[in-house]
Amino acid sequence: MTKRESNTLAVLGCGALGTAILSGILASMADKTADDSGRLFTNFTACVRRKETGAAVSDKISSHANAHKVEILNKENLRGVKQADAVLLACQTHLYKALFDEPGMREALKKKLIISVLAGVTTAQLEAALGNGEDYFVIRAMPNIACFVRDSATVIEKPQRTFPEALLHVTDTVFKAVGSVFYIQPSAYDICTALCGSSPAFLAVFIDSMVDGAVAMGLSHKDAVDMAACTMRGAASLMLESGNPWTIRHQVASPGGSTMQGLLALEQGNVRSIISNALMVAAKEAKKLGSKENA
């Protein structure tokens, strides 16, 4: 990606994650306190397969001051890539090979930064599907839907071959615009896909369960949701401060208190094992996604 007055990011696939990333970047552009993260790009192209998807994307980003800088293209992936300086590959996992097979696509992608957020599909698989991996700059990243509110935990796989420093900077700053960034080795990628990518759904189930309990005892649903979500946010902040979830557990659970009784009820329900197993299952399934595509 060269330095010039106009730089364009093409988003190939605007489902929940692709749209969340785009929305978060647009929000960062209006944040005067932010660094140059979102401002690396001045224009955006959202490539979709259906008009309905395009309309949904337009609706979700309409509140942003820079929404007018997004061009939505329906079934025009090649055009989107040709006019882009960098590409965010966010299509459904099983579609990437067909996308690369579009006439002219491989040539259009050459020497451009390709950021893949496809679960389970390795850099080697992507490079093999493109043809000659040396002609392409592919890097993997796994954010989560909290990009919408610029509070994602994004893992970026450390490149295993020589990679232009400028393109690493682009990847880093793009995802710092929408949250926190962690660098990992390829061997940990599927684990982190579950931990960072899937866990918002797991945490939502936990909150929903607490809400059900509160509503069953008479609290309004809205109040219960607001209180539970704010409580989890506060607990997460404390955890980041202390670096140890057990610190919070012991601070809250005083001897003979109601919290300890509630914790014992959780242990009786084998909740810790269930949650750990859910994470491990999600990680294994993420790995299988790539294996299926390679079969």
Are both 44 and 23 inside the same structural domain? yes
Q: Is 16 annotated to bind ligand? A: yes
Strand order in the sheet with 137-142: 70-74, 43-48, 8-12, 86-89, 113-116, 137-142, 152-157, 179-184
Is there a binding annotation on residue 17?
A: yes
Let me know if residue 294 belongs to a domain.
no
In a domain, 125, yes or no: yes
* Residue 206 placed within a domain: yes
CATH number of domain containing 240:
1.10.3730.10
CATH number at residue 73: 3.40.50.720
Asked whether residue 241 falls in the same domain as residue 213, the answer is: yes
Question: Could you tell me if residue 113 is inside a domain?
Answer: yes
Q: What is the pLDDT along the chain (295 residues), one digit of tens a residue?
A: 555 556 999 999 999 999 999 999 999 998 766 655 446 899 999 999 999 999 999 999 999 999 999 999 999 999 999 999 999 999 999 999 999 999 999 999 999 999 999 998 999 999 999 997 778 999 999 999 999 999 999 999 999 888 899 999 999 999 999 999 999 999 999 999 999 999 999 999 999 999 999 999 999 999 999 999 999 999 999 999 988 899 999 999 999 999 999 999 999 999 999 999 999 999 999 888 866 655 4
Asked if residue 294 belongs to a known ligand binding site, the reply is no
Q: Looking at 184, 201, 221, which one is the last position of a domain? A: 184
Where are the strands (E) in 105-244, listed by range?
113-116, 137-142, 152-157, 179-184
Assigned domain for 108 exists: yes
**Domain with 155 in it:** 8-184
The answer to whether 194 is a known ligand-binding residue is no
In a domain, 1, yes or no: no
Q: In terms of domains, do 199 and 149 share one?
A: no
Pair (216, 247) in one structural domain: yes
Q: Collapse the DSSP code of 43 into the 3-class scheme (helix H, G, I; strand E, B; otherwise coil) and give the result.
A: strand
169 is written with which tokens? Answer: 């900077």
Q: Are residues 83 and 225 in the same domain?
A: no
Burial grade of 105 (CB within 10 A; 0-12, 13-18, 19 or more): middle
Looking at the fold, whether 205 and 108 belong to one and the same domain comes out as no
Domain for residue 78, yes or no?
Answer: yes
Same domain, 201 and 172: no
162 within some domain: yes
Q: Are residues 113 and 161 in the same domain?
A: yes
Contacts of 214 (CB under 8 A, 6+ apart): 224, 227, 228
Q: In this structure, are 209 and 269 located in the same domain?
A: yes
Say yes or no: 115 and 167 in one domain. yes
According to the annotation, is 30 in a ligand binding site? no
Q: Are residues 162 and 226 in the same domain?
A: no
Tell me: do 134 and 110 sit in the same domain: yes
Go through 165-195 and write b for each residue having 16 or more CB atoms within 10 A of its CB, e for each that does not: eebbebbbbbbbbbbebeebeeeebbbbbbb
Number of structural domains in the chain? 2
